[in-house]
Structure 1
Amino acid sequence: MVTGGVMRKYQIEGMMWICSLYENGLNGILADEMGLGKTIQSVSFLAHLYSMGVKGPFMIVAPLSTVTNWQREFARWTPSIETVLYHGSKEERRALREQIGFENKVKHPPSKSFPVIITSFEVAMNDAKKLANLNWKYLIVDEGHRLKNKDCRLLRELKSLNSDNRLLLSGTPLQNNLTELWSLLHFILPDIFQDLATFQTWFDFDEELHAEKGTARIIEEESKNKTVSKLHAILDPFLLRRLKTDVLINLPKKREYILMAPLTESQEKINKSIADKSLDSFLSEQITEFEVTDGNWERQGAVNNKAMSLMNVLMQMRKNCNHPYLFTAPFDSLGNIVVDERLVKSAGKLQLLDRMLTILRKNGHKVLIFSQMTKMLDLLEDYLELRGWPSHRIDGTVNWKDRQSLMDDYNSPTSNSFVFLLSTRSGGLGINLTTADTVIIYDGDFNPQQDLQAMDRCHRIGQTKPVSVFRLITVQSVESKIFERASNKRKLELVAIARKRFKVKNLTEIRQSISSTELVELLKPKVTVK
Structure 2
Amino acid sequence: LKEEVEDKRFDQKLKRYIAKNTNMIGELIFPEDEIFNPDFVEVDRVLDVMVNEDKETGKSTRHFLVKWCSLAYEDSTWESEDDIDKIKIPRFKQHTILCKVNKVLRPHKDMWKRMSEDNTVFQNNNQLRDYQFEGLNWLLFNWYNKRNCILADEMGLGKTIQSITFLQKIFDHGIWGPFLVVAPLSTIANWQREFESWTTINAVVYHGSQTSRDMLHTYEWFCRDENVSTLIPGCYKVHAVITTYEMIVLDSSHLRDVDWRCLIIDEAHRLKNLSCKLVESLSYMQLEHKVLLTGTPLQNNVEELFALLSFLQPETFNCQQAFSLEFGNLKNNAQVEKLQALLKPMMLRRLKEDVEKSLAPKQETIIEELTSIQKKYYRAILERNFEFLAKGTSGGNVPNLMNTMMELRKCCNHPYLIKGAEDKIMQEYRMMSNEQNPLQAMIQSSGKLVLIDKLLPRLKEGGHKVLVFSQMVRVLDILEDYLVQRSYLYERIDGCIRGNERQ
**TM-score higher than 0.5 here?**
yes
Cα 1:101–1:74 shift into 2, 3 Å = closer
Cα 1:189–1:109 shift into 2, 3 Å = farther
Q: Structure 1 residue 182 and structure 2 residue 303: aligned? A: no
Corresponding position of 2:148: 27
Q: Is the 8 A contact 2:261 2:288 kept in 1?
A: yes
Q: Could you tell me how far 1:85 is from its partner in structure 2?
A: 2.6
Corresponding position of 1:239: 347
Corresponding position of 2:370: 263
- Superposition map of 1:310-389 within 5 A: 310=403, 313-330=404-421, 340-389=439-488
Q: Could you tell me how far 1:167 is from its partner in structure 2?
A: 0.6
Corresponding position of 2:202: 82
Deviations 1:447-473 (A, max 9, x none): xxxxxxxxxxxxxxxxxxxxxxxxxxx
Q: Structure 1 residue 46 and structure 2 residue 154: aligned? A: no
Measured in 1, the distance between the counterparts of 2:397 and 2:207 equals 42
Q: Structure 1 residue 70 and structure 2 residue 191: aligned? A: yes
Measured in 1, the distance between the counterparts of 2:158 and 2:134 equals 12
Q: Structure 1 residue 253 and structure 2 residue 377: aligned? A: no
Pick 1 or 2: higher relative contact order, CA cutoff 8 A, min separation 6: 1
Q: Structure 1 residue 13 and structure 2 residue 148: aligned? A: no
Deviations 1:41-75 (A, max 9, x none): 32232233233343322111223443333333333
State the secondary structure of the residue aligned to 2:479. Answer: helix
State the secondary structure of the residue aligned to 1:261. Answer: coil
TM-score by length of 2: 0.62
Measured in 2, the distance between the counterparts of 1:200 and 1:372 equals 37
The structure with more radius of gyration: 2
The percentage of counterpart residues that share the same residue type is 41
What letter is aligned with 2:390? Answer: I
Structure 1 ranges of 4+ moved more than 6 A: none
Measured in 2, the distance between the counterparts of 1:385 and 1:41 equals 40
Deviations 1:6-60 (A, max 9, x none): 4445434322322332333321111123343333332232233233343322111
Measured in 2, the distance between the counterparts of 1:236 and 1:395 equals 39
State the secondary structure of the residue aligned to 1:47. Answer: helix
State the secondary structure of the residue aligned to 1:262. Answer: coil
Q: Is the 8 A contact 1:299 1:332 kept in 2?
A: no
Q: Could you tell me how far 1:89 is from its partner in structure 2?
A: 3.9
Measured in 2, the distance between the counterparts of 1:357 and 1:154 equals 47
Measured in 2, the distance between the counterparts of 1:240 and 1:203 equals 20
Cα 1:112–1:174 shift into 2, 3 Å = same
Cα 1:3–1:406 shift into 2, 3 Å = closer
Root mean square deviation, CA, Å: 3.4
Q: Is the 8 A contact 1:179 1:200 kept in 2?
A: yes
Cα 1:367–1:403 shift into 2, 3 Å = farther
Corresponding position of 2:499: 403
Q: Could you tell me how far 1:273 is from its partner in structure 2?
A: 4.6
**Greater strand percent: which structure?**
1
Cα 1:197–1:331 shift into 2, 3 Å = same
Which of residues 382, 393, 402 is equivalent to 1:309? 402
Q: Is the 8 A contact 2:160 2:191 kept in 1?
A: yes
Corresponding position of 1:518: none
Q: Is the 8 A contact 2:203 2:242 kept in 1?
A: yes
State the secondary structure of the residue aligned to 1:34. Answer: coil
Name structure 2 gaps, 5 residues minimum: 1-119, 223-231, 425-436
Q: Could you tell me how far 1:176 is from its partner in structure 2?
A: 4.5
- Superposition map of 1:367-446 within 5 A: 367-398=466-497, 402-407=498-503
State the secondary structure of the residue aligned to 2:243. Answer: strand
Q: Is the 8 A contact 1:149 1:183 kept in 2?
A: yes
Measured in 2, the distance between the counterparts of 1:242 and 1:55 equals 30
Q: Is the 8 A contact 2:261 2:287 kept in 1?
A: yes
Measured in 2, the distance between the counterparts of 1:198 and 1:284 equals 61
Deviations 1:384-418 (A, max 9, x none): 334343433333444xxx233144xxxxxxxxxxx
Corresponding position of 1:171: 295
Measured in 2, the distance between the counterparts of 1:150 and 1:375 equals 39
Q: Is the 8 A contact 1:86 1:118 kept in 2?
A: yes
State the secondary structure of the residue aligned to 1:44. Answer: helix
Q: Structure 1 residue 227 and structure 2 residue 227: aligned? A: no
Measured in 2, the distance between the counterparts of 1:73 and 1:50 equals 16
- Superposition map of 1:95-110 within 5 A: 95-101=215-221
What letter is aligned with 2:410? Answer: K
State the secondary structure of the residue aligned to 1:29. Answer: strand
Cα 1:300–1:160 shift into 2, 3 Å = farther
Deviations 1:292-338 (A, max 9, x none): xxxxxx75985653xx114xx544443332233333444569xxxx9
Q: Is the 8 A contact 2:249 2:278 kept in 1?
A: yes
Q: Could you tell me how far 1:3 is from its partner in structure 2?
A: 4.0
State the secondary structure of the residue aligned to 1:309. Answer: coil
What letter is aligned with 1:404? Answer: N
Cα 1:48–1:286 shift into 2, 3 Å = closer
Measured in 2, the distance between the counterparts of 1:304 and 1:386 equals 28
What letter is aligned with 2:363? Answer: E
Q: Is the 8 A contact 1:303 1:326 kept in 2?
A: no
Cα 1:316–1:176 shift into 2, 3 Å = farther
Cα 1:98–1:303 shift into 2, 3 Å = farther
Corresponding pairs, count? 361
What letter is aligned with 2:442? Answer: L
State the secondary structure of the residue aligned to 1:33. Answer: coil
Corresponding position of 1:55: 176
Measured in 2, the distance between the counterparts of 1:117 and 1:261 equals 47
